[in-house]
Amino acid sequence: MEDSETVVGDLERVGDFAHALHGCRYVVHCAALYSFAPRDRTRMRRINVEGTAALLEAARIAGVERAVVTSSASTAGPSHDGTPVDERSLPPPDEAPSSYHASKREQERSALSSRIPVVLLLPTAPVGAGDRTPTPTGALIRDFAAGKIFALPPRGGMNLVPVDDVAHAHVAALTRGGRGERYLLGGENLSLRRVWELLADVTGRRMPWLRVPMPAITGMAHLDELRCRVVPATRPFIPIEGARMANELMYVDSSKARDALGFQPGSVRAALERAVRFYRDSRAR
């Protein structure tokens, strides 16, 4: 955009780019470190919690009116009985399925205690084009498209949401979100088997046929954790934290965001098609 300026910064050194906040009316903070690698756990807290606190304080000093902070639907906890959770759901402090999700819960507390008006948005698992890193959800889509997924999923469930609609909700929250309010941003509640079926359909790959017992998955995840601790530069193939989440039902109710922000998520299937096309185009380059 002609009227925009790109400033590169690091949340571990907010002071290096804090000057760029002067003259800004709003801040949208959606940066985070999302990793299942053991080596990243300490750094996740520095970036996701301490970095957020530093950024919001710098925004306050700069005179920013309001900040929209991207949290995670995991801060509302899983749906143990299949009933979608809403913003009133607050799981026990020690019931965090991963270091990343624990850091997002702490990030929320830090953001809400800051001295600047904050709106919290809690996306589920965004899907679509542009997930270059990728996130664990993006890696699943990429690997399925490449034929690297060979087993049926456990009997859990998750919510997928088109990333474009999550972005639109951030814009709406700048003016329509309530101060100190939390808004879940979910698309479709799906069993993991249904997610696999959609991926098989949009990629043209066959559904995997192998069913791996959950104890075996957990055992392999613990061995993978040990491998990553012995060789810190590696990342897990079967994250132990992902294995813990695989039997959960991560279902949400986004009625609050719909009513307050006009949130209307589109087709998850279409978003998966865009994601698959993105990864295939990236490989072709």
- Of the candidates 93, 97, 101, the one whose C-alpha atom is nearest the C-alpha of residue 34 is 101
Distance, in Å, from the CA atom of 155 to the CA atom of 36, rounded to the nearest integer, reads 21
Q: What is the pLDDT of residue 232?
A: 82
The tally of CA atoms less than 13 A away on the side-chain side of residue 8 is 0
Distances (CA, A) of 110 to 14, 113, 122: 16, 5, 15
* pLDDT tens for each residue of 107-155: 999 999 999 999 999 999 999 999 998 888 999 999 999 999 988 887 8
Q: Are 196 and 5 in contact (CB under 8 A)?
A: no
pLDDT surpasses 60 at 15: yes
Helix (H, G, I), strand (E, B) or coil at 186: coil
Dihedral angle at the C-alpha atoms of 55, 58, 64, 68, nearest 10 degrees? 10
CATH of 14-277, one of 3.90.180.10, 2.30.30.40, 3.40.50.720, 3.30.70.1250: 3.40.50.720
CA angle 82, 83, 85 (to 5 degrees): 115
Among residues of the chain, what percentage have pLDDT more than 90? Answer: 64
What pLDDT score was predicted for residue 218?
Answer: 83
Could you tell me which residues come within 8 angstroms of residue 6 by beta carbon, excluding any fewer than 6 positions away? Answer: none
- Enumerate helices (H) and strands (E) in the chain, giving the number of each: 10, 7
From the number of C-beta atoms within 10 Å of its C-beta (0-12, 13-18, 19+), residue 135 rates as: middle
Look up residue 7 and give its two tokens. 């400033």
pLDDT of residue 166: 97
Most confident of the ranges 122-126, 217-221, 280-284: 122-126
Which residues lie below 8 Å from residue 235, measured CB to CB, with a gap of 6+?
35, 36, 37, 228
pLDDT digits (tens, 9 = 90+) for 90-116: 765 555 557 888 899 999 999 999 999
Instruction: Please name the residue ranges forming H helices in 133-191.
Output: 136-145, 163-176
Contact 66, 26 (CB under 8 A): yes
- How far is CA 104 from its chain centroid? 10
Cis peptide before 134 (omega within 30 of 0): yes
How far is Cα 50 from Cα 48, in angstroms, rounded to an integer?
6
User: Which one, of 187, 186, 181, lies nearest residue 69 by Cα?
Assistant: 181
pLDDT at 284: 67
Three-class DSSP category at 107 = helix
Q: What is residue 133's DSSP assignment?
A: S
Residues 171-180 have pLDDT tens digits of 999 999 999 9
**Domains of the chain by residue range:** 14-277
Confidence check: pLDDT of 5 > 80 = yes
The mean pLDDT of 159-182, rounded to a whole number, is 96
Predicted local confidence at residue 84, as pLDDT: 93
pLDDT at position 93, please? 58
H or E element that contains 27: strand 26-29
> What is the rounded distance in angstroms from the CA atom of residue 57 to the CA atom of residue 51?
10
Q: How much is the average pLDDT of 10-22?
A: 95
Q: What is the mean pLDDT of the chain?
A: 90
Per-residue pLDDT reduced to its tens digit, 34-91: 888 888 888 999 999 999 999 999 999 999 999 999 999 988 888 878 899 999 887 6
pLDDT mean over 17-33: 94
